[in-house]
Chains A and B, each alone.
Chain A
Amino acid sequence: MRDWERYVRGHLALPDLARAREARIVRELAAQLEDFYLDALSRGMTEDEADAHARAQITDWQQFAAALTNIDRPHARSRVDRWSERLDDRARQQSRGWRLLALLSDFWQDLRYAHRRIIAEPGFTAAMVLTLGLGIGLCCLLFAFLNGILLQPLPGAREPERLVSLQMPVAYPYVEQFRSELSRDHGGGVASAITAFIGPVPFNVTRDSGSGNDAGHARPERIFGHIVSLEYFATLGVQPLLGRFFDASASADASAAVVVSERFWRTRLNADPAIVGRTLRINGGHATIIGVASKDFLGVFPLNPADLFVPLTADPALAPELGGNVLTNPNATPFRVVFRLAPGETLSHAREAIAAQQRQLDQRYGKTDAAVPVTQRRPRVQLMTAGGLMPWPPELRKIPIVFFSILIILILSFTCANLGGLMLARGDGRAREIAVRLSLGASRWRLVRQLLTESSLLALAGGAVGYLAAYALFALLVRSLADTQSFFAATRLTPDLRVAITTFAMTALAGTLVGLIPALAATRPDLLRGLRDASLLGTGRHRRLGLRNLFIVYQMTAATALTLVVGFMVSGVIRSASVDLGVDTERLWLFSLDLARDGYTRDEAQRFLLGLPDRLSSVNGVDRVSVADEVPFSGQLANTPITVIDADGRETVRPVVLQRIGPGYFAALGIPVLRGAEFTADQLRATPAPTRASASASASAAAAAGPAESMQANALVPVVINETAARKLFGDREPIGALLRQNQRRLQVVGVARYGKPPLFASEPTPTVMLPLTASDVVPGPAQGLTVIVRSRAGMSLPTIAGALATLDTSASPFNLRTMNEAIQQMDRGVQYSTGFYSILGAFAIGLASIGLAGVTAQAVSRRRKEIGIRVALGAQRWNVVRLVMREAIAMVAIGVGLGLAAAFVVGRVIAAINIEMGRALVSMANPLMVLALPMFLMLVAIVTCYLPARRSSAIDPLVTLREE
């Protein structure tokens, strides 16, 4: 039997028809000829006869082809098609290279065409590129942070994903038991290596010069480091860049050894290649540099970077934290433990094994939870990842990734949907052009490709703008964060290749999303027909725009809710930042001292502290001086339980902030003591100083401390409390003279002051109890050192205050000199950043919603051109037309804003359910001004955005629109 299709193809040439059309005709004719053939066979003809019969059906092929071409003119192929088909032919016949060339030539055409269109409409192009840039930039920024902080492995570590740490620090006896029971080397344990460290802790470091002469003159620098067990580097799998690390066999000489980070070596030691063997003066001792760690290694958890690694075996002169038998005391718990999970070991099994050991140890040392208030109970053993930049619960590892991904997808999809609407609106204007091209025989796929090229080009420009903006903003943010967070100063946190690739992927996705749907819609064949009999006098308008209207309403809702909630938050932040602290901050200076690291003993520190006010006050221009263990107004977390003893001797426990202050604290700050008086230096001399042990350790430690200290503990310690504490602890009772107990010490309230900074969203300060600062609070002191407050007289400047510091004891090295205002700004900065970010998000939401609205309105206008033309021809005034067009847009905005208000209310309630303080603030701040003003503002923005296309509609010339048909 004949291959009829081949037969027809061999005779019929239709070069003027589109290729697909030609194929269809050939196929159908072949089917019919075959029917003739089969029919003839069934009627009893021989095969040859049947074949001849079928072939006789069409004799004059040329005339037939002419007739078909004539009839099928709508399916004629365009010149472009013919050209590309010729290329296609060649490609099919020839090599892959030709095919590529054909594609490239298409692409080049598309590019040139897109370029012409983009140039032709600069306003539209700018709006598209900017909006896309904003969307992509925001996503890029988000991903840069996610990538920079959460996805980075610990630099320099081997197999960082196998590293886990205990969330809570423990005592050294625990570490030893872990090592003997859980390590695979010693017992049958779950870890292949275990290490422990204290830190980060500050060290006062001076470089010993060869001659030893400079050492006395060089100002020591405050460098943070870890005090590490000898297996630290081996456990992490970090390699030395120079020299070697501590090794257990040579622990004897390890006592005076130190390892430095590559950063320290580079920035402080001039990258001296012969540095190994040189000594550093660290705090009160000397240590030999034995090695430099690998590049970028800044200790475990480099979010708090460490530059110096001192072994646990070092002398307390080198590291005061090692004093007071910290290696044997089960109640001193500064040790963070890092395990390297043994191969094949699972996290949950390891957690069980560790928890079992910890329970056993807790029992042995009598640390049962029963007697401890609930707020102080030890949480169950929680393992954290230790192979990243910061500790993170491994079971929550995916949460930020999922959260950020959803956020990015939401932002991108909103942006794309809006811009897609805009493209669609423009696509309507181009419908005629597209229709002409389609009818000339351009294939749909080709047109879609063309439109996609255009949107991709726009997206590419937007992506570039977004990436550059995000890059710059990221650098700016990191630089300003570096002021407060040493981590950001430490790492070269720049968007890496991964960010660039992700941004490019987002850009490509955005380009496709923005272009694809409008392209498909614009080239939809039946749109052609709709266009041809374009008798759309508004009929079906609502239905056709229904979904898009819904989308706009939804966006307005989201934008309103978001801006309202953000508005509440921002106003809350502004309010708590602008709260009157009752302090004249103008002439207040702060600086820090770390006497322990300056080599002071407790007695020397005591003498120094007592003499400090007099010594500084003697400087010309200094008015008053006081000290505190923290920066004034910084304590906000009520995390210390204190026992209130009422008149009948009954006891209740309340959480408060515990601060330690020197005499004259309130006088220096200029805060009035409302009732009673603050304690004086003379009073304190009379009161025996309690030791650090009884001040901070638990009951059993104090009991073991000896009779002398218990006797001291019986003396009443004078304390000043703030107003909130007076109300919360004593209610209506007279606070002056009232008794409190903290651990074994009995405290007596001598004064009440209006003091404290309300935490974010709170309306009043946290209850605060202020104890006298003693030498035992300073040696060994807190990591941030001790804060000295200086009130100067008018006219005193930074150089004079620096000069005054030079008159201090030469062995004390002050650091961190700043004004009180700067200190307060630093406290608020983190919150400012987050509100800044949310404000950007809110503004972005409003911007997007407005663009969407403008797009939809523009589309409605272009759809109703004819109707408007007729109305104008019939005498409608300009204002009538604008009103007509805007009515619909305003209705959408009004509905959206109304729903948004409701949504904001619901969100407020939800937040209130989660966070009482914040929720109360949200509800209380729901001031009518904002609830009214913000939606009004949104309405205004929305109205302006839809006024622009509406105004254009009124400029429609009826003659032009009516002539169009």
Chain B
Amino acid sequence: VFSAELKKGSVEMLILSLLDARARHGYEIGKLIEARSAGKLTFALPTLYPTLLRLENRGWIKGRWVEKPGERRRCFYRLTPEGRRILVEQRKTWEAFIDAVKAVMGTSHA
């Protein structure tokens, strides 16, 4: 289980990457993070939901109420072009960061 600080720093990026493929609703996002991390990453609703709103207010994602056949109305979020640009940027930064961290930690072990 990771510390809260570690998790907090990544939640925005996680959400953005999950929305990269298609539009999803809030509950689905939470469940997906949990499933894909094999239960290692979980975000409670009081953390996840305000993040969604914050991202939306920044104009990176956009929520829309959709009624799918056989389901209740849900607010589906999708990436805006701006969000997509940010995601690409963050991915690059993140990878660079990981590489740097690995490089540093690798040498210390050696």
Q: Contact residues of A with B, CB < 8 Å? A: 24-25, 27-29, 31-36, 39, 57-58, 60, 63-64, 67-68, 71-72, 74
Contacts and interface: CB of A to CB of B under 8 A. Distances in A.
A74 B72 contact: no
B27 interface: yes
Given A31-B75, A32-B26, A35-B27, A57 B45 contact: yes
Contacts of B30: 32
Residue of A25, A35, A39 ringed by the most chain B CB atoms within 10 A:
A35
Interface in B1-53: 25-27, 30-31, 44-46, 49-50, 53
Given A71-B57, A74-B57, A32 B27 contact: yes
B85 interface: no
B92 interface: no
B51 to A, nearest CB: 9
B73 interface: yes
Contacts of B53: 25, 68, 71-72
Nearest to A35: B27
Nearest to B28: A35
Nearest to A70: B50
B74 interface: yes
B73 A32 contact: no
Contacts of B44: 57
Nearest to B53: A71
A36 B27 contact: yes
A32 B63 CA distance: 14
B45 A72 contact: no
A454 to B, nearest CB: 31
Given A31-B26, A63-B46, A64-B50, 12 more contacts: A31-B25, A31-B27, A31-B73, A35-B27, A57-B44, A58-B46, A60-B46, A64-B46, A67-B50, A68-B53, A71-B57, A72-B53
A374 B26 CA distance: 89
24 contacts: A28-B26, A28-B49, A31-B26, A31-B27, A31-B74, A31-B75, A32-B25, A32-B26, A32-B30, A32-B45, A32-B49, A33-B45, A34-B72, A36-B45, A39-B27, A58-B46, A63-B46, A67-B50, A68-B49, A68-B53, A71-B50, A71-B57, A72-B57, A74-B57
Contact of B45 (A27, A58, A63, A71): A58
Contacts of B91: none
A33 B72 CA distance: 13
Contacts, number: 50
Interface majority SS on B: helix, strand, loop or mixed? helix
Interface majority SS on A: helix, strand, loop or mixed? helix
B102 interface: no
Contacts of B73: 31
Contacts of A35: 27
B9 to A, nearest CB: 17
Given A28-B26, A35-B27, A72-B57, A67 B72 contact: no
Contacts of B25: 31-32
A53 to B, nearest CB: 12
Interface of B: 25-27, 30-31, 44-46, 49-50, 53-54, 57, 63, 72-75
Contacts of B31: 39
A558 B63 CA distance: 48
A29 B72 contact: no
A959 to B, nearest CB: 31
B27 A71 contact: no
A525 to B, nearest CB: 12
B4 to A, nearest CB: 14
A74 to B, nearest CB: 6
A63 B75 CA distance: 23
Contact of B49 (A29, A39, A74): A29
B58 to A, nearest CB: 10
Contacts of A25: 53
A71 B54 contact: yes
Given A31-B73, A31-B74, A68 B50 contact: yes
A28 B52 CA distance: 11
Contacts of B54: 71
A31 B57 contact: no
Contacts of B63: 28
A72 B51 CA distance: 11
B107 to A, nearest CB: 41
Contacts of B27: 31-32, 35-36, 39
Contacts of A72: 53, 57
Nearest to A67: B50
A64 B50 CA distance: 8
Contacts of A31: 25-27, 72-75
B35 to A, nearest CB: 12
Contacts of A36: 27, 45
Contacts of A29: 45, 49
Nearest to B48: A32
Contacts of A71: 50, 53-54, 57
A32 B46 CA distance: 11
A35 B44 CA distance: 14
Residue of A32, A33, A63 ringed by the most chain B CB atoms within 10 A:
A32
A31 B72 CA distance: 8
Contacts of A67: 46, 50
A677 to B, nearest CB: 99
Contacts of B50: 64, 67-68, 71
A29 B53 CA distance: 12
Contacts of A58: 45-46
Contacts of A27: 75
B70 to A, nearest CB: 13
Contacts of B57: 71-72, 74
Contacts of B45: 29, 32-33, 36, 57-58
Contacts of A34: 72
A31 B71 CA distance: 11
Nearest to B55: A71
A57 B49 CA distance: 11
A33 B74 CA distance: 12
Contacts of A60: 46
